Structure 1
Amino acid sequence: MMAYPGERVQISGGKKIQVSWKPFNVSGANIWVSDVSGFDEMPALHINGARATRARYPNMPSGIEASCGYGCMIEGGKGKWTPPDFQKYGNVIYYTDKTTQHYRNTTNDWFNEYMIGVGGLCSVYDPPVSYWCSEHPSGGGAFAFRTPSGLSYDFPNGPYSHAEDARLFVWRPARWANWMFDVAKYDATTRNFTFGRGGNQGARGENSGGDFFIENVMEELDYPGEYFYDKRKQKLYLYHNGTGAPPSDASYVVPQVQVLVNLTGTQWRPVKDIKVKGIHFSASAPTYMMPHGVPSAGDWALDRFSAVFLQGTQNTLIDGCVFDRLEGNAVMVSGYNRDTTIQNSDFSYLGGNAVAAWGYTNETRTDRGRPGIILANSPAAGVDGTDGEHPVRTTVQNCTAREIGLYEKQSSFFVQAKTAQSRVVSNVFFNGPRAGINMNDGFGGGDEIAFNLVFSTCRESGDHGPFNSWDRQPFLTTVRTGEPSMIMQWREIHHNFFIDNYSPQEDVDNDDGSCFYKTHDNFLVYGGQAMKNDFGGHDNHHYDNVDAYVHQALGVCETIAGHEDYFYGNYVVMTGEMVGTCLDDRMHDNRYFTPTGKIQEAGCGGYGGTVSKTPSDDAILNEARKKLGMTKQVEIVI
C-alpha cells in the first residue's frame, strides 16, 4: 500500500460535514450555529485540519493542541470526592503463582512471584484482570486499585441543564495518569456528579481524584475556538476565533473511524510481508472511552485500537508515513508480531501513543483481543510467555514525534508490555505529557534503545523523564538463553541524548523492580540523580555516560550477592556535593564535578573517582560530542 510517486495519499477516519452558519450569540460573544445531523456525539472536530476544543471549564487559552503544562485545570483539593464503592462489582479473585520453578530469586522479597486479581474493582477493565487487584501489590505508593465514585463541585457556570452528557477528565493524584468519566447522575442541588462509564484509562488507582476539568456542556461554550454539539437538537455551535461568521468554505471534519488500516492474522496464519509506504493518516476517532486492559504490572492501561493496527503479522514495514491529528494511538503492535519495522515516519498531535507494542498471556478464559478463542489454563498460564503471542523484534527507527497524549496523559512515543527484543533507534521525540519511552515490564528483555534525542517530556505529569521502566511481575520467556527462564535478557540504553527539562527526576528512571539494564555512552542532562534503582531493582550498570547538571550521582537500593549495581567511568557534573548511594568497589573511575570542587562521600570511605570544580559548558559539550560520535562541530544549547 503506497502513494503513487509525487502524489499525496491521505487515509482519514473523518466525515466531512456541510455547514450553514447562522448567528446564535454574536453580541456578547461570537457564537454561530448550524444544523448538523447524523451524530450521536461529537467528541472531536477538525476545522481546516486542526482540532477545535470541546466546550469545557476551565478554558484552554491556546486550544487543545497546545499544552497548558500543569494549568487549565481545577485543583483536585477543591472538589469533594465520593469514596470508591468497593462492592460495586463484587469480590476480587486472587491468584499467585506458587510454582517453584517460577520463583524469581534475584531479590529479597520484591516481585518474586507472578500475581494478579480477577474481577472486583478491576471489572472496569477488559479483560477484568490486573496486578493492582492482586492480594499483595507492592512498590512505590502501592495499594489495591480503586477510583472515586463521584465528585461534588460548584462549577461557576452551573448548574448544567444536561450535566448527564458531561465528561470529566481527572488526573490521578500526583499526576501519574488521568481518568475519564461519563456522568451517570447529576444532582443540581448538591452539584454532585455520580460517575458512570470510565476510570479504566490508568492502572493505578486512588480514593480521590487530582486536578480535573469538565467538558461537553453547553453552558461552558464561552471561549474562542470552542464548539458544542447538541445531540438532541442535532445542532453544532462554534465560538468562532475571529471576526464575523466562520468561513462556510472551510473544511469541517468529524472523526468517526478508529482503525484505518487493520492487518490481523494469527500466529498460525499470519499476514506476511505487507508494506505501507508514504501514506498520510489523519482524523481517526477517539478511543479513550473504549475498553482498556492492564497489560502487566507497570502503571499503564492500554486500549487495543490504533490508526494502523497489527496483530498476527510477520515482516510488516511501515515506511515514510505521516500520522497527524489522530484522536487515539497511531500504531498498535498487538499480540503475535515478528519483525515489524516502523521507520522514516512522522507522528504529531496524537490523542494517545505514537507506537505501542502489547503482547498476550492467558490470564483470563477469554480476551476481547482474541475473539472466539477459549484460553487454556487461565489464570495459571498468565505467567507463561513462551507461547509466542507477543511482539518480537519490533524496530522503530528514524522517526520524529511530538505533541502526543492530548487526551490520555499516560502516553509515550514508544511503550511496550509483554514484548521482547525491540529496537528503538535514531528517533527524535519531544513535547509529551509523560515519559518519552516506557518499558512497562521486564518481559523477555533483549531490547536496544540507542541514538535517540528525547526532551521536553513529562510536561504535565509527575516524576519520570525521557525514559521510564518497571518490572514488578516476572514472566517465563525463552529470550535470555533459548530455554524457559524467569530472568530477562539485558537491555541496553546507549548513545542517546536525553534532556530531563520539565519534571526533572531522572533521564533514565529505572523504577520499581527494574533490572538487567546497561546504560552507557549517553549524554544525560538534568535530573535529581544520574542513576536510579528502587524497590527491589538490581543488576543496573550505569557506565561511561556524561551526566550533566544532576543533583547527585546515584540513588539505588540494596541488592543481593550476584545481582549488584555498578556505577563507573562516568563524567558527572553535579549541582550539589552529595554523591548518593555507596557501591564500594563497584563504583570506580568516575570524574565528579561540583560548584565547590568538594564532594561528600557516600559513607563507605570513598566515592570512586576524582573531583574538580564545575567545568565550562563548552568542556561538558566537548565530552558529549565525543561520547555521541559528533566528529563535526554541532551546536548544542542546554
Structure 2
Amino acid sequence: VLYFYPAPGEDMRTAVVETAGLEELFVFDGSSGQPVRHISLEGIEFIHTARTFLGKYEPLLRGDWSICRLAAVRFKGAEDCSVRNCFFNQSGGNGVFLDGYNRRCRVAGSRFHKLGESAVCSVGSYRAVRSGAISYDNNWPEDDFDTTPGPKSPDYPKDCRVHDCLIYNIGRVGKQTAGVFISMSEDITVSHCTIFSVPRSGITVNDGCWGGHVIEFNDVFDTVIETGDHGPFNSWGRDRYWKTRHHSTKPFHDPQDSTGQKLAKKRARLDNYKTTIIRNNRFWHAGGHSWGIDLDDGSTNYYIYNNLTLGCGLKLREGFFRRIENNIFLDSINVHVCFDDKGDIFKNNIVVLSEGRAAYQGIRAKPLDIADWDYNLYHAGEGASVKFVPGSVDPRLEGIRRMNLQQWQAVGLDAHSIEADPMFVDPEELDFQVKPDSPARMLGFKNFPMDKFGVIKPELKKLAADGHRTCNGYLHPEILKRRSNTGE
C-alpha cells in the first residue's frame, strides 16, 4: 500500500508523482591495478536516491558500525578524483562513498542536506587488514596472530580529504550514521566542515586501521540528538591488540604477560601505526548526554590539541598513547576508563566546570598511572572548588571517593596546576582566548584562533550561521547569568 500526502491545494487528479528508484547515481569502478583517474564532478545537485536501509549491511571489524556500501556517488579503485561544489539533497542513502582502494580523492565545497544515511564515508576492504577480527565478541587466535605493522594490501582509501563541506539534517533513516565516517583508511583529512543536526556523532573513526588522520578546523554541534552515548567526535580502536575482556574486567595483566596489558601496549600501534591528530576544532553540546571528544574502546595513538569544547569534554577508554594538550574544556564531563601504564599525557589544558562536575571522573581507572598530568588550569566558578573522583580500582587510593586539588597534588598529580579564573577575552561573543595576564599563560597555555572553525565558502557560512541560531542552544551558565542580569 502506498500512502501519499499531497501538498495543500494540490489536485491529485492532475498531479504527477515521482518516486526514487535508483540507489546510486554515479559509480566509478576501478582497481588498484587499473584505477579510474581524474574524474571531477562539479556544480551538480544529486537528489532523490532510494533509501538503502533494506540493502546489504556488513559489520566493520569490531567497531559498533555496520554499513551498506552504496551512495549517490561511489568511487571504488579511483585516483585523483573529486566532488566539488555539489549539493546532495534528500538522498535516501549515503552521499559520497570512498570504497576500498582510493588515493588522493577530494570532496570539497559541497552541501549535504536531509540524507537517509551518512554524508561522506571512507571505508577500506577487509583484505587490507591483518588479523582483522569481525564482531565485538571475537578475538583473533594467538597462534595465527600477525605482528607486522600496517595494512596487508592497498585496498583502502589513503591521502583523501573532505574539506569545506556543510553537513546537516542527515541520518533521517539510519541512526548509526555520521557526517564523516572513516574505517580501514589512512591519512584522511577532515577540515573546515560544519556538521550539525545528526542523530549520532558528527565525525566517527571506526577503528585504528591505520591512523594518520587529521581532523581540523571543524565546527560540530547539535549531535547525538536521537541516540545515547557518543559525542561530536567518536572513535573506536578495537584492533589487533585489543581483546573483548579489556572492556569490562580488571586487572587485565597476568604475571606471565601472555595476554595482559604489557603485551597489549607492545601491540597497540600495529594497526594505528600513524598518529591521528585532532586540532583547532569547536565541539558543542547543548543538553542531554555527550562525551565531546569520545575516544572509546581501544582508541590509541591520538594527539589532541587546540580544541574548544562547549558543554562537553573528553572520554579516554582503554587505549594507549593519547596526548591531550592546550585544549579548552568548558562545562565538561571528563570520564576515564583506562588501562594501567597507558602512556597518556594531559597538559596545559583549561578545564572550566559548572553544576558540580568533576575535573576527573575515574571508572575502572588508575589516575596515578598516567604518564604526565600537569600544568593545567581549573575553574569551578566563584566560590566553588574543583573536585576529582579517582574511582575505586587503584589500591593506592583505596577508600578515597573525592579529592580537592591539594589532595590530588599530594599523590603526585597536577603538581604545577592551579585553580583560577582563566580570564577569557569575550565569552559572550564566543572568544575564549585568554587575556595577556591570564594565569593560564604562565602555565604554558597558548591561544589558538577562535574565528577559523567550520566552512569557508560565503554561501555555506550563511547557512551554517542559520543553523547556529536555530539548533545550537549552548550558552555557558555564567553567560546566561550575565545576560539575565542585564535584561538581555
TM over 0.5: yes
Which residue does the alignment assign to 1:253?
Answer: 18
* Cα separation, 1, equivalents of 2:298 and 2:452: 38
1:549 matches 2:335: no
1:588 matches 2:374: yes
Partner deviation per Cα, 1:75-117 (whole Å, 9 max, x = no partner): xxxxxxxxxxxxxxxxxxxxxxxxxxxxxxxxxxxxxxxxxxx
Would the aligned equivalents of 1:538 and 1:559 in 2 still touch at CA under 8 Å? no
Match for 1:344: what amino acid?
G
Alignment of 1:388-467 (within 5 A): 388-467=154-233
The TM-score normalised by the length of structure 1 is 0.55
Which residue does the alignment assign to 1:570?
Answer: 349
- Which residue of 337, 351, 373 corresponds with 2:116? 351
Alignment of 1:312-351 (within 5 A): 312-351=77-116
Tell me the CA shift for residue 393 of structure 1: 1.1
Alignment of 1:614-629 (within 5 A): 618-619=426-427, 621-624=430-433, 626-629=447-450
Structure that is richer in helix per residue:
2
Would the aligned equivalents of 2:127 and 2:153 in 1 still touch at CA under 8 Å? no
* Cα separation, 1, equivalents of 2:100 and 2:147: 14
Pair 1:427–1:600, CA change in 2 (3 A): same
1:599 matches 2:400: no
Which residue does the alignment assign to 1:532?
Answer: 315
The runs of 5 or more residues in structure 1 that have no matched partner are 1-227, 230-236, 365-378, 476-483
1:612 matches 2:420: yes
1:508 matches 2:274: no
Pair 1:340–1:605, CA change in 2 (3 A): same
Would the aligned equivalents of 2:425 and 2:433 in 1 still touch at CA under 8 Å? no
Would the aligned equivalents of 1:363 and 1:382 in 2 still touch at CA under 8 Å? no
Tell me the CA shift for residue 577 of structure 1: 5.5
3-state SS in 2 of match to 1:468: strand
Match for 1:318: what amino acid?
V
3-state SS in 1 of match to 2:4: strand
Identity of aligned residues (%): 26
Which residue does the alignment assign to 2:257?
Answer: none
3-state SS in 1 of match to 2:321: strand
3-state SS in 1 of match to 2:431: helix
3-state SS in 2 of match to 1:473: coil
The TM-score normalised by the length of structure 2 is 0.70
The runs of 5 or more residues in structure 2 that have no matched partner are 130-143, 242-268, 391-402, 435-446, 454-460, 469-473, 476-488
Which residue does the alignment assign to 1:23?
Answer: none
Pair 1:454–1:619, CA change in 2 (3 A): closer
Match for 1:569: what amino acid?
N
What's the Cα RMSD here? 3.0
Q: Which has the larger radius of gyration?
A: 1
Pair 1:310–1:543, CA change in 2 (3 A): same
Match for 1:260: what amino acid?
L
* Cα separation, 1, equivalents of 2:357 and 2:72: 49
Alignment of 1:66-465 (within 5 A): 228-229=1-2, 237-240=3-6, 242=8, 246=11, 252-362=17-127, 385-465=151-231
Would the aligned equivalents of 1:307 and 1:328 in 2 still touch at CA under 8 Å? yes
Pair 1:339–1:616, CA change in 2 (3 A): closer
Would the aligned equivalents of 1:361 and 1:385 in 2 still touch at CA under 8 Å? no
Pair 1:289–1:558, CA change in 2 (3 A): same
Tell me the CA shift for residue 600 of structure 1: 2.5
* Cα separation, 1, equivalents of 2:17 and 2:145: 51
Tell me the CA shift for residue 286 of structure 1: 1.2
Would the aligned equivalents of 1:306 and 1:329 in 2 still touch at CA under 8 Å? yes
Which residue does the alignment assign to 2:441?
Answer: none
Match for 1:589: what amino acid?
Y
What is the aligned length? 374
3-state SS in 2 of match to 1:515: coil
Pair 1:249–1:344, CA change in 2 (3 A): farther
Pair 1:533–1:264, CA change in 2 (3 A): same
Pair 1:618–1:281, CA change in 2 (3 A): same
Partner deviation per Cα, 1:172-199 (whole Å, 9 max, x = no partner): xxxxxxxxxxxxxxxxxxxxxxxxxxxx
* Cα separation, 2, equivalents of 1:250 and 1:545: 56
- Which residue of 247, 269, 276 corresponds with 1:491? 276
Would the aligned equivalents of 1:417 and 1:443 in 2 still touch at CA under 8 Å? yes
Pair 1:434–1:617, CA change in 2 (3 A): farther
Match for 1:593: what amino acid?
H
1:630 matches 2:411: no
3-state SS in 2 of match to 1:330: strand
Pair 1:516–1:253, CA change in 2 (3 A): same
3-state SS in 2 of match to 1:362: helix
